[in-house]
């Protein structure tokens, strides 16, 4: 099978894994959040560990989702197609350059399975979002982690040089966990200077919170670029599931070989309505920035050092093993994010509501003073 890396040997290894009782390793932020090993959360918990959006779907999406439930006995594929058409129009690409998915974890995994192999590595920033590495392990691909620059950007020059046989180079913009931006010019440079045959995967899960610009025009220009979008973050639909891959049809076709089936009608309708909701992105971006700036003022006032993020999460340097603070905060019923091996003294904190962040501040002051 030339079109994918799914060789007979690969299939054998994959079946053996599943036979041994493993589940399909399709990780997402919620599964990753469990790496913090905090167990079930109490009802009055402040849950700022998984970069979720406490606002949930916007009112128009909420209402549309509720009213479609009665028709849920139908597949209604046309809703998926019209969501894709609207997204394509908004991004300036042809309709067949967009494939909807139930979130972006799914196409992220498919991209790693499609474009990496034991001889074609997966290259990512460090610290970076771990899900791609999980997929790389399934097919025996090597993950090469390239430290972020001192400005917390992806080090595109080092990433381009990391492996002449790189299969997939993953740029998360803004990055998870740091919330920092890699300037567009750097991504353009990478696309022009990447190893021959490699694909650049630009994960724009957090794009709408930031000043970064989308790279849809690179896709429209038929570059070797695939963009991932999710409705789990700004659009507040993490549990409802909607997302998309945007890329050249020949690249998207490779992702499609790894699965099949209809998408959730509720997710597709919610995403489509959200896209059409004028002013929604600006409104929610401003809400998150307001709460984030308030927390950053608090951080400055208490001399805590943190990474200046443009997203709905940020990293704090707690100057001791981060896991200790995660546990101590959990005792205060404030559940913050996990620790990355590359930065063992940092913890990731998601931006919740104003009220949740007030509880965060009280608990953090107490825990850091202990
Ligand atoms: N990409 C990044 C960087 C993420 O942080 C996440 C989730 O947090 C995802 C992709 C996938 O999210 P979902 O599968 O909910 O769309």
Task: Give me ligand 1 centre to Cα 206, in Å.
Answer: 9
Long-range contacts at 23-29 (CB < 8 A, ≥ 24 apart): 25/109, 25/134, 25/135, 25/137, 25/138, 26/105, 26/106, 26/109, 27/105, 27/109, 27/130, 27/131, 27/134, 28/103, 28/105, 28/131, 28/232, 29/105, 29/176, 29/232, 29/238
Same fold, 29-55+280-369 and 57-276: no
Query: How many Å lie between the centroid of ligand 1 and the Cα of residue 145?
Result: 19
Q: Please tell me which residue, 27 or 217, carries the higher pLDDT value.
A: 217
Among 20-24, 143-147, 263-267, which is the least confidently predicted range? 20-24
CATH tag for 57-276 (out of 3.40.50.300, 3.10.20.30, 3.40.640.10, 3.40.50.720): 3.40.640.10
Residue-level pLDDT at 30: 63
pLDDT, mean of residues 178-199: 98
Cβ contact 141:163 at 8 Å: no
- The average pLDDT across 333-343 equals 97
Interval between CA 32 and ligand 1 midpoint (Å): 10
pLDDT band at 346 (very low <50, low <70, confident <90, very high): very high
Cβ–Cβ contacts within 10 Å for residue 308, how many? 14
Q: What is the DSSP string of 68-122?
A: HGGGTTS--HHHHHHHHHHHHHHHTS-GGGEEEESSSHHHHHHHHHHH-BTTB-E
Ligand 1 centroid to Cα of residue 301, in Å, is: 32
Q: Is 274 in the pocket of ligand 1 (CB under 6 A)?
A: no
Measured from the Cα of 104, ligand 1's closest atom is: 16
Q: Hey, where are the domains in the chain? A: 29-55+280-369, 57-276
**Distance from C-alpha of 231 to C-alpha of 103, rounded to nearest angstrom:** 7
172 Cα nearest atom in ligand 1: 3
Model pLDDT, residue 235: 98
178 pocket-lining for ligand 1 (C-beta < 6 Å): no
Interval 111-118 mean pLDDT: 98
pLDDT band at residue 96 using 50, 70 and 90 as cut-offs: very high
Mean pLDDT of the chain: 92
pLDDT of residue 309 exceeding 60: yes
Share of the chain above pLDDT 70, in %: 89
Could you tell me the two tokens for 334?
């404030």
Report the relative pairing of strands 199-203 and 225-230 from DSSP bridges: parallel
Tens-place pLDDT, residues 238-262? 999 999 999 999 999 999 999 999 9
| pLDDT given for residue 41 in this prediction | 83
369 pLDDT higher than 80:
yes
Edge-to-edge strand list for the sheet holding 122-126: 98-101, 243-247, 225-230, 199-203, 168-172, 122-126, 143-147
pLDDT tens digits for range 261-287: 999 999 999 999 999 999 999 999 999
Element (DSSP H or E) covering residue 317: strand 313-317
Give CA–CA dist 6/115, Å, rounded. 10
Report CA dihedral (80, 81, 83, 87) to the nearest 10 degrees: 140
Predicted confidence at residue 40, as pLDDT, reads 77
Q: Residue 29: its pLDDT value, please?
A: 67
The proportion of the chain whose per-residue pLDDT surpasses 90, expressed as a percent, equals 88
Atom of ligand 1 nearest to the CA of 101: 16
Point out which residues pair with 170 in neighbouring strands. Answer: 124, 201
* pLDDT (tens digit per residue) in 33-56: 555 455 678 889 999 999 999 999
Distance 170 CA to ligand 1 centre (A): 13
> In whole angstroms, what is the distance from residue 266 CA to residue 134 CA?
28
In this structure, are residues 335 and 46 in contact, taking their beta carbons and an 8 Å threshold? Answer: yes
CA 226 – CA 218 distance, rounded (Å): 9
pLDDT for the residue 42: 86
Residue 291 Cβ < 6 Å to ligand 1: no
Stated as kind and residue range, the H or E segment containing 229 is strand 225-230
Report which protein residue has its CA nearest ligand 1's atom 16. Answer: 103
Neighbouring C-alpha atoms within 13 Å toward the C-beta of 228: 29
* Ligand 1 pocket mutation pick from 47, 104, 178 by most atoms within 8 angstroms of CB: 104
29-55+280-369 CATH pick, 3.20.20.10, 3.40.710.10, 3.90.320.10, 3.90.1150.10: 3.90.1150.10
């Amino acid at each position: 099978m030339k079109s994918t890396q799914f060789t007979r040997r690969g299939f054998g290894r994959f079946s053996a894994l599943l036979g041994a009782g493993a589940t399909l390793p399709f990780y997402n932020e919620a599964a990753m959040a469990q790496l913090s090993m905090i167990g079930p959360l109490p009802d009055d918990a402040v849950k700022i560990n998984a970069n979720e959006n406490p606002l949930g779907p916007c009112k128009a999406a909420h209402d549309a989702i509720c009213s479609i439930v009665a028709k849920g006995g139908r597949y209604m594929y046309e809703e998926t197609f019209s969501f894709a058409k609207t997204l394509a129009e908004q991004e300036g690409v042809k309709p067949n350059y967009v494939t909807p998915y139930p979130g972006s974890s799914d196409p992220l995994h498919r991209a790693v399975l499609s474009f990496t192999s034991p001889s074609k590595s997966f290259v990512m920033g460090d610290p970076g979002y771990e899900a791609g590495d999980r997929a790389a392990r399934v097919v025996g691909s090597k993950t090469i982690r390239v430290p972020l620059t001192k400005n917390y950007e992806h080090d595109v020059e080092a990433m381009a040089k990391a492996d002449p046989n790189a299969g997939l180079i993953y740029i998360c913009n803004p990055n998870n966990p740091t919330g920092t931006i890699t300037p567009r010019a750097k991504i353009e440079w990478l696309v022009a200077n990447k190893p021959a045959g490699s694909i650049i995967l630009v994960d724009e899960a957090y794009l709408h919170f930031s000043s970064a610009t989308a790279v849809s025009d690179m896709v429209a220009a038929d570059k070797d670029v695939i963009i991932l979008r999710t409705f789990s973050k700004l659009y507040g639909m993490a549990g409802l599931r909607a997302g998309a891959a945007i890329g050249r049809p020949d690249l998207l076709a490779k992702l499609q070989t790894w699965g099949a089936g209809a998408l959730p009608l509720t997710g597709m309708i919610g995403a489509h309505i959200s896209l059409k909701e004028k002013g929604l992105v600006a409104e929610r971006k401003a809400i998150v920035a307001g709460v984030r700036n308030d927390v950053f003022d608090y951080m400055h006032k208490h001399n805590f050092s943190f990474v200046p993020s443009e997203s709905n999460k940020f990293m704090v340097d707690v100057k001791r093993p981060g896991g200790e603070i995660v546990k101590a905060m959990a005792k205060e019923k404030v559940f913050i994010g996990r620790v990355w091996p590359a930065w063992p003294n940092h913890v990731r904190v998601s931006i919740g509501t104003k009220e949740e962040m007030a509880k965060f501040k009280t608990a953090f002051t107490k825990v850091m003073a202990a």
